[in-house]
Each structure stands twice: as structure tokens, then as C-alpha cells.
Amino acid sequence: MTIERYIRIFAGLFIMISLALGVEGSPMLISRWALAFTAFVGLNLFQFGFTNVCPMGSLLRKLGVPERAD
């Protein structure tokens, strides 16, 4: 898998977890403040679309994940 695919998977996972932890009526509700994490992930994806800079991408690059599928 490539860096971009990992970023999409992790972003989707983080959003789903933070929604489960912050939405009223969820059996896993901890606090509505968990929704702030959803906003953080969304803003990070937004700026990544414009700047092509992503902290998760930098970490994955250092871990040796390939940029492109060959």
C-alpha cells in the first residue's frame, strides 16, 4: 500500500472513532469534545489537499512506506 492510501485509511478510521466517542446516543459516548478531533482531521485533510504536506505522510515516509505502487 502507498502513503496516500494509508492516509485515507487512518483519516477515515480516526473520524469514525471520534464520531462514535462524541455523538449523542452512541453507546461509546465519552464527551462531545471528541468531535473536535473530527474537525482536526477534516482540517488536516483540507490543508493537505492544497499544500500536499501531511504529518502522517511524513511519519509513514520515515517508516519506509512507498510513495507509489510499482
Q: Domain map of the chain by residue range?
A: 3-62
pLDDT of residue 8: 94
Q: Taking the alpha carbons of 10, 13, 14, 15 in that order, is the dihedral positive or negative?
A: positive
The pLDDT value recorded for residue 69 is: 80
pLDDT surpasses 80 at 70: no
User: What tens digit of pLDDT does each residue of 25-50 get?
Assistant: 999 999 999 999 999 999 999 999 99
- pLDDT tens column, 58-67: 999 999 999 9
CA quadruple 20, 24, 28, 30: dihedral sign: positive
Model confidence, pTM: 0.84
pLDDT at 37: 95
